[in-house]
Amino acid sequence: MTTDQTEIPGEASAPPTLPDNTIRAAVPQVARGFVLGTVDLVPGVSGGTAALVLGIYRQLIASIHHTATTVTRLVRGDFRGFRDGVRRIPLLWLGGLGIGVVTVILLLSGPLERSLEAFPVPLAGLFSGLITAAIILCWRQLQNVKPMTWVLVAISAVVTFFGLGLAPTNDGTGPAPALWVFFLSGAIAICAMILPGISGAFILVLLGMYPHVIGAVADREWSTMAVFALGCAVGLALSGSALNWLLTHYHDLVLALMIGLMIGSLRVLWPWPHGLGNPEMALPTATTALLPIVLGVGGFALVMSAEAIAKRVRRDDQLA
């Protein structure tokens, strides 16, 4: 894993560089962190897409990779390389971003938890629209659609759909999972930062952990939050190189499997009759149909608009 070779999968562009590690560069990061934190709370909106819109995707991935490489040098006993790497880590830049992300998550997690409890069906409609848009965006990133691509999407979707039907209902009302479950959930969900078009909150929904994680943050369960954050850090350090290697060598294969997974996961995002986290499906009634559909269409339009802005940002970067 090298800092100088990180690129957005499927895009040909100049290699990223580490951002400036100055107060002047860090201050705007707090505001960007507010945006990323808001996006990270909602299933369906990719943090990578938001970072692209904000113009910091490449610098963020380069910083993450450089930090992981530096830690690896310490583990290998390369203390000189570790010291040199630490000096280059943009701590101020990353710190400003982290402050913004953490602040907005702490502020909004409580209202979101209460909304999930009070309006499970409308919010499921919103999340379904967001995920549907993410499916389309991922499909657009396929480089060479072949018959095998369709087969992989279909297999992944069918396995996910029926697999979720066998899983127990998990809407966050049951007992809290063990701490090790929060750790593993963080390690898995953080991979969405690297996978194009996939959001970490969506992975938590798929794992049945979304209400529990939001609840832990809203209730300020600091030990649980620390374990989840540790899982995120470990998962990012361990999976970064592997995911980038897979996307480099098997780009369409990985995306096909992810697209199928998102299609199949719509089972637990289907609004009717119970809302988020329940695999039971039914047709909407006259009194429950309108709001979820309106929110779903709005969420779909929001993600597609964000992607259009991201494309413009990428195009401007390439012309600069």
Whether residue 100 lies inside any domain: the answer is yes
**Measured between alpha carbons, how far is 232 from 186 in angstroms, rounded to an integer?**
4
Whether residue 299 lies inside any domain: the answer is yes
**Measured between alpha carbons, how far is 178 from 122 in angstroms, rounded to an integer?**
29
Structural domains counted in the chain: 1
Whether residue 42 lies inside any domain: the answer is yes
Instruction: For residue 257, give every residue at least 6 positions away whose Cβ sits within 8 Å of its Cβ, in sequence order, or none.
Output: 152, 153, 156
pLDDT at 59: 83
Residues 140-159 have pLDDT tens digits of 888 889 999 999 999 999 99
Whether residue 9 lies inside any domain: the answer is no
Helix ranges, 55-119 (H)? 57-75, 79-88, 91-118
Whether residue 4 lies inside any domain: the answer is no
**Measured between alpha carbons, how far is 135 from 174 in angstroms, rounded to an integer?**
30
Token pair, residue 44, equals: 């369906």
Residues 184-211 have pLDDT tens digits of 999 888 877 666 667 788 888 888 888 8
Whether residue 105 lies inside any domain: the answer is yes
Whether residue 7 lies inside any domain: the answer is no
| Domain interval for residue 101 | 15-319
- Nearest residue to 199 via CA among 43, 35, 33: 43
This prediction has a pTM of 0.72
Residues 20-41 have pLDDT tens digits of 888 888 888 898 889 888 888 8
